[in-house]
A and B are shown apart, each in its own frame.
Chain A
Amino acid sequence: METQHNSVPKTIWAGASIGFIFLLVPFVGLSQRAPWSSFVQIVTEETVLRSISLSMIVATCSAFICLILGIPLGWILAKADFRGLKLVRAIVLLPMVLPPVAGGTALLFALGRKGFIGEHLDSWFGVTLPFTTAGAVLAASFVSLPFFVLSIESSATQLDSRLEEASLNLGASPIRTFFTISLPLLRNAIMAGIALSWARALGEFGATITFAGDNPDQTRTLPLQLFVALETNPERAMIIGVLMVMISLSVLVTLRGNWLVQK
């Protein structure tokens, strides 16, 4: 820290401090107001426990979906060159800037029971996604995928392409090169992407309530529980808020911090 103090101008430090405080203050407020004495009691309530486990399932499944879809997508955005690439990139990043509610509505039109794809899912396979845990996973994946893709793309662009060429030179096929050279080199970006998309999925609310509704057994994740509590029992809402901060913080610190520091 001391050496950094010397090399970074004071004005930058001042700006950074203000920015950090701006981000920190709401959490201080939350933890200050939270009725800590009832923390354990509320967190161990059956409905809250159910929400916790639903949230874990949804966040984990959607991080997995992000992993499967995000790696090829991020790779193509970083490496490919074709007409309309810019447009593709913009569309991929859209869920990041769109209000999640709009995303959820759009999902309804596509994958809802009467959506242009969902209609066929329903009539051919009898699958309906809205108001199910699968729907909640889908909604969460929709909003968190861009975070994963960005993480992969920025890393893949910086990847030393000579290493991949060396692999080809040594006889490894392009697909083998991808799996044995490119992917391992992207390890940190993948871990960071998992952490980010997991945390984003955990906090997902708007798209979930719009697309997957609010069903206590299927889709009432922690943010939905928080939303209900906010209007009926603010104390409960604060406890759930604190709980979410704790979960997200520990995930971001351990998973992301670890993989970014390690080489």
Chain B
Amino acid sequence: MNLRTASETLSFIRELEEKAAKLYEDLAKRFPANENDFLAFAKENRKYNKQIQMAYQSVISDAIEGCYAFDLESDHYTFETDLPDSAGLANAATKALAIEEKIMGCYTLGAEQSGSLLADVPRNFKMVLKKRVKRLERLKALA
């Protein structure tokens, strides 16, 4: 599906973040030794959702291009979170890395497309991207 409006794009991103958060909560149960890492990731995802929503609701106005800010193909960024019961920590971390890359890809292109149009929204996308770098390093270490 082609995403164009700020409302549908942010709803889509919220779904991605929440889906990934649920995966991390599941991983926390499956890998108790790394529970703290995974629960922290899930918490961060939900914080990002709040941060982006706050940025959107604070800046959205009739003067900016809310209905014409994006041109994203949602199919490029959707992911499955299924993981076989037999999967070990390395497999789980590899899966999480792939998911993180998809989410970051969505933020990256979204920030680029809406850069001069939605003011604080793309700026917050970039902030989320920057904060995620540490997570990638941690997941790589686990993979």
- B is a partner of A: no
B residues sitting closer than 8 Å to A (CB atoms) are none
A residues sitting closer than 8 Å to B (CB atoms) are none
